[in-house]
Amino acid sequence: DVKVTQSSRYLVKRTGEKVFLECVQDMDHENMFWYRQDPGLGLRLIYFSYDVKMKEKGDIPEGYSVSREKKERFSLILESASTNQTSMYLCASSLQTGTYGYTFGSGTRLTVV
């Protein structure tokens, strides 16, 4: 069964901490994405990567960075966590074309206190 695995289901971090969210896929997909999901705002794209070491900003990249050193792994980094980054974070992967759909991880519920 194909999978996208996010390292943590729940995280609680303090304001100012550096936070790492890890995502691993086992489908040899080229594309990987990080979204945040907030009530009333839907899914908003933070960053995506279409190849190893390649990245592109999404709609809300401020306060975040990403790393993709290996094809199967895509990390989201909150450089200095703030309370407005409290959210559900979803990782997804897909083939080069989005036509075949995204496979999502189960999400990480991050609370910044």
19 vs 105, which CB is nearer to other proteins? 105
Token readout for 23 is 């995502």
49 vs 85, which CB is nearer to other proteins? 49
Q: Interface with other proteins by CB under 8 A: which range of 11-19, 42-50, 61-69, 75-83?
A: 42-50
107 lies in the site for other proteins, by CB under 8 A: yes
Token readout for 49 is 């990567």
Among 15, 26, 65, 100, binds other proteins (CB under 8 A): 100
In the chain, DSSP assigns E strands to 4-6, 10-13, 19-25, 31-38, 42-51, 54-57, 64-70, 73-78, 87-94, 103-104, 108-112
Q: How far is CA 15 from the centre of its chain?
A: 19
Residues found near other proteins in the complex (CB under 8 A): 4, 9, 30-31, 40-43, 45, 48, 50, 90, 92, 94-107, 109
